Amino acid sequence: MKTMTCAQLGGPCDLAHRGEDANAVINAQDQHLKEAEKAGDASHQEARDAMKGRWRHPKKSMDWYRGMQKAFADLPED
């Protein structure tokens, strides 16, 4: 298990997401941003918009995804 925060994934807060792989923490971040948007949390809106827009640009999204995979791999186990 490893932990990445919302901020490490491009968001504004220190909420910790734990997972066995980068995909688990990325999915947790996506859910966190959706919930924050639904709750009207404006501080997360920029990160939510970036997450939604990222997938409209495959090259840019793959660069981000690979960067998050590497950042996750470089973390120590919890």
Mean pLDDT confidence for 50-64: 86
Query: Using N-to-C axis directions, what is the helix angle for 45-54 and 58-74, rounded to 10°?
Result: 120
Do 45 and 27 meet the contact criterion of CB atoms below 8 Å apart? no
SS3 labels along 30-65 = HHHHHHHHHCCCHHHHHHHHHHHHHCCCHHHHHHHH
The model carries a pTM of: 0.90
pLDDT over 80 at 57, yes or no: yes
Mean pLDDT confidence for 7-23: 97
SS3 4: strand
